[in-house]
C-alpha cells in the first residue's frame, strides 16, 4: 500500500514557476515508477511527466518538454515536478501516480491532486 500526498500547487502568473511535491508513505518508494498527470476542467486526465524507480529514466509530454522537470529523492520518499515558464494552458489539477516497477505491478496508486492556476 502506498499513500501519496501532493502539495505545492497555487496561483502563479504566466511565465512564472511552481514546484510540486508528492510525498509517499511506505518503505518501498524506491521500487515505484512515478508519474505526474493533470486534468483540466472538461478534459481527460493526461500524462505530464514520468520517472523510473531509480531516477535514471524520465519522459515528458511534448507540451511540457523543456519547461517542466521531474525528479525524485528516494531518501525522502518524494517526487517533484518543477514547472517553469507556465502557460495559460497549464492550469489543471495535478495528480501523482505510483506504479510498482516489477513485471506484475499490481494496482496504481493516486494522490488527491493539487490545483495549479495560471493567470495571464
Give one DSSP letter per residue of 9-52, joined into a string: -EEEETT--EEEEEEE-SS-GGGEEEEEEEE-TTS--EEEEEE-
Residue 5 buriedness (CB in 10 A; 0-12 / 13-18 / 19+): middle
**C-alpha cell at position 13:** 502568473
What's the whole-number mean pLDDT along residues 107-119? 96
Model pLDDT, residue 27: 66
In tens, the pLDDT along 7-45 reads 999 999 999 999 999 999 976 899 999 999 999 999 999
pLDDT of residue 1: 83
Give the per-residue pLDDT at 120: 85
- pLDDT tens digits, 42-61: 999 999 999 999 999 999 99
Amino acid at each position: 500500500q502506498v499513500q501519496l500526498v501532493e502539495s505545492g500547487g497555487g496561483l502563479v502568473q504566466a511565465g512564472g514557476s511552481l514546484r510540486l511535491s508528492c510525498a509517499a508513505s511506505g518503505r518501498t518508494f524506491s521500487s515505484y515508477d512515478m508519474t505526474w498527470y493533470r486534468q483540466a476542467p472538461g478534459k481527460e486526465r493526461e500524462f505530464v511527466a514520468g520517472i523510473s524507480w531509480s531516477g535514471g529514466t524520465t519522459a515528458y509530454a511534448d507540451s511540457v518538454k523543456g519547461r517542466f522537470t521531474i525528479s525524485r529523492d528516494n531518501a525522502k520518499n518524494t517526487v517533484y515536478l518543477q514547472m517553469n515558464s507556465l502557460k495559460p494552458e497549464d492550469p489543471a489539477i495535478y495528480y501523482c501516480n505510483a506504479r510498482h516497477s516489477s513485471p506484475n505491478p499490481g494496482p496504481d496508486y493516486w494522490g488527491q491532486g493539487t490545483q495549479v492556476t495560471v493567470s495571464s
